[in-house]
Chains A and B, each alone.
Chain A
Amino acid sequence: MNSAAIATQGLTRRFGALTAVEDVDLRVAPGQFFGFLGPNGAGKSTTIKMLTGLLAPTAGRIEILGLDLAANSIEVKRQIGVVPEGMALFGRLTGAEYLNFVGRMYGLDRETAAKRAAELLDFMQLADQPKKLVTDYSHGMQKKLALAAAVIHGPKILFLDEPFEGVDAIASGTLKAMLQSMISRGATIFLTSHVLEIVERLCSHLAIIHRGRLVAQGSLEELRAGVEAQAAAALPSDGGQSAAVAAPGEKLTLEQIFLRTVGGARPADQELSWLS
């Protein structure tokens, strides 16, 4: 599993009788902007929680930057940044206090933490109200603060669980600018999102998880080629799923690739006749 930024082998997580993630082998190369997609309940958040140490795998192995996560959790955590589900903010601190706190949790000295906190607040356009408590921030402001906190120590890998959920276009633009600047400096980003247009625009590589299993992995072009080849083979009997295939001469969008891969297109004969 060497030379990968993130690599998993047989990653499995069970909750009682339910297998949320099963035998997942992921491989993310350094410097990739990696999108991890899947329908609701497919196992995306469970996977990202295991990769960031928030959840223990039932079976399998995780390597981050060549280090085994189970054996070197502190060393791994030093090199990663996380925006988890729920954002992990402290509502009764100000944005500056929170960033200061997180910076020092990641080992920055007091002066560096304060300096970076100020720069990040400025970059994220959160510096206008320094006395405002995080609990009084809007959802978009909280997302920006959570991202600022995740990068304050200059991580080599950034894990983002739905960073664009509930964020307006302005805040979304700020987040994207920061992420692209990180990629250009060699960082690796692992992102889950339901906003496929953003994933398509940002991510160079993708994986799709469905019912806990990894069903596709590769660059966008590789995934597109795979789906087109499958569609060509199955076209005579695809049961109405041809809606997820592009018109001749057009490239498949990520949404079409996604729907083909997870089989999410609704058969045309299903309709609610009473709807006006």
Chain B
Amino acid sequence: MPLRTIIAVLLLAPLGFLALVGVWSTEGGSASSLPFPAVRNELRGGAQPAAGDPVRLRIPALNVDAAVEDVGLTASGGMDVPKNWNHAGWFRFGARPGEAGNAVLAGHLDSPSAPAIFWDLAKLRPGDAVTVEDALGRIHTFTVTNSVRYTGGDAPMEELFGPTPRSLLRLITCEGEWDKEKETYGERLVVTARMKT
């Protein structure tokens, strides 16, 4: 094969490759082809702030009045946590508080050196009030119905996060014994509250 042919191959092959990759990626590789808005937003680098997103959590019985961050998923597919120890983290791929569905807010029990926002979450009792303010200034009021502790992987994830026609609020924090090796507590506490009608 002559030298100029070899050079031509070396020059044209990458061009052909790039052209074909371009066609391929616009047909099937874009996030916009995915069916679910939440997943599209995640792939684009996070959900856009929306008017009804929660911004403030108040639990008078625990003297909690805290800002709300939105959180997504960890690399392993678990629910992520708020970056600030004293903020609540709203799971942005679930319902907003006030909508039909499970609106899930997680908060830290403690930091390495001090109590955090949900230090006293276990003290909530049925009938206690929880309010969530959204970005439009609307106040959604919930009434605590129950608290359940889960160990390891025994939490009913579909029930806690999946769709439901009711407007529920799930408050989650850590419980149980501290595992030094895994650096985590062995249980999770889930407090459920139902929207006041």
Partners in one complex: no
Which residues from chain A sit less than 8 Å from chain B, CB to CB?
none
